[in-house]
Amino acid sequence: MRSHLCLEVNGFPWEGDVEVGQTLLDLLRDSMGLTGAKKGCDGGECGACVVLLNGKPVNSCLILGVDLDGDSITTVEGLNDEESRIIQEAYVSIGAVQCGFCSPGMIVATKGLLDQNPHPNATEVNTALVGHLCRCTGYVRTVDAVQEAARRLGERRRGQTA
């Protein structure tokens, strides 16, 4: 059984057919060629597949394509504005990226967090990123990177309003 679907993906309209059991993650990777969201556990445990659904971070492996209609999806490929670039640079400069498999999910989740809470403390960062597994960094640098990104974004916003 197939179903017709209309979405907005990274700011562009997308229209097509999906299999009824196809997850949003498979739809992004296999049908749209957006391989930024990674297929790790495929069960909502690792966070590598996180995307923004109408601005909120979600596990794309736990959402069916047919479940969506007219929704807005943002993957790591869609985070190409200046503020998103600052988040990515903070991850790199703090050393929160090593093998990089978990990074797209973490960066998308960071964008979702900082959009809601521009100055999160360490506990709030941990709460927001608890669903992301990383075998390389040990998480401390990830928390530092999010707070560094928040600091740099704050400076940029203050500069814009001055």
Partner 1 sequence: MITGYIRATSVAEAVSALEENKSRGWILAGGTDILQKAGLKRYKKSNPVVLIDIKRIEELKGIRVEEGWLVIGPATTLDELVKNGVIQAVAPVLVQAAEQVGSAEIRNRATVGGNLGTKRSSADLLIPLVGLKAEAEICDPAGRRKLLIEELLRKGLEESGRRMLITAIKIPVPQPTAWGYRRWSRESMGRAYLSAMVSLERGLEEGTYQVNVVLGGAGLWPCGYEAVVPEGKIFDRSASASLVERIIQEKLGDATSDRDSYKRRLAPVILGEALEMAVKGVRA
Kindly list the residues in this chain that would bind partner 1 in the complex (CB under 8 A): 1, 3, 20-21, 23, 41-45, 47, 50, 53, 56-59, 61-64, 66-67, 109, 112-113, 127-133
Least distance from partner 1 to the Cβ atom of residue 49, Å: 9
Alpha-carbon span 6 to 70, nearest angstrom: 5
CB nearer to partner 1: pick between 70 and 156? 70
Whose tokens are 């229209």? That residue is 15
Instruction: Name residue 107's amino acid.
Output: I
| Token output for 100 | 């990089």
Minimum CB distance to partner 1 smaller for 32 or for 62: 62
Q: Which is nearer to partner 1, 11 or 21 (CB)?
A: 21
To partner 1, the closest distance from the beta carbon of 97 in angstroms equals 20
Of the pair 16, 95, the CB lying nearest partner 1 is at 16
Burial 149-161 (b: 16+ CB within 10 A, else e): bbebbeeeeeeee
Nearer to partner 1, 25 or 145 (CB): 25
Q: Least distance (Å) from partner 1 to the CB of residue 74?
A: 14
Torsion of CA 135, 92, 42, 120, to 10 degrees: 100
* DSSP β-ladder status, 56-59 and 12-19: unpaired
Q: What are phi and psi of 3, to 5 degrees?
A: -135, 145
In the complex, minimum distance from the CB of residue 64 to partner 1, in angstroms, rounded to a whole number: 7
Shortest approach of partner 1 to residue 59 CB, angstroms?
5
N-to-C CA span, the chain: 56
